[in-house]
Amino acid sequence: MDTFDNFLSSKIQHDHIDLDLDNSAFNQLHDMVNLNSTKSNVKMNSMFGFLSDFLCPNFIAVKIAFVALLLILAIGNKENKVHNSLVFLCDSTIIQNNVFDDTTAIFNNQVSDSLFN
């Protein structure tokens, strides 16, 4: 079996077929590698483009002012939210009291009506 094994290895390894891919196939593959790199660049730019632009030292004063404005707005918005929720709580208590008063009054009226009619 070893002889046959060696025979197969030597014959098959040195076998040659006259076959090749043409240039257009190669060029297409080449373009695809380019396209993929462009795609990955676009992806990277969309992910980190804003961040890298923002971190570069140009217009630093404008950027600091922008961040400060954002912080002020965020803090203001947070305080507003607390205030609004307090107002809402107060309002809902008043409404509840009013409803309670109304229903008590209606009940009283009905009781007195049934007693005297």
- Count of residues in contact with another protein, rule CB under 8 A: 32
| Candidate ranges 14-22, 45-53, 73-81, 107-115; the one touching another protein (CB under 8 A) | 14-22
Based on CB atoms, which residue is closest to another protein, 30 or 83? 30
Based on CB atoms, which residue is closest to another protein, 44 or 95? 44
Considering only CA atoms, which of 56, 54, 77 is closest in space to residue 67? 54
Sequence-separated (6 or more) residues with CB below 8 Å from residue 63: 54
| Candidate ranges 10-18, 50-58, 90-98, 102-110; the one touching another protein (CB under 8 A) | 10-18
Tokens standing for residue 40: 């990955």
- How many other C-beta atoms are found inside a 10 Å radius of the C-beta of residue 114? 8
Tokens standing for residue 66: 């922008």
Smallest distance, Å, CB 45 to another protein?
A: 14
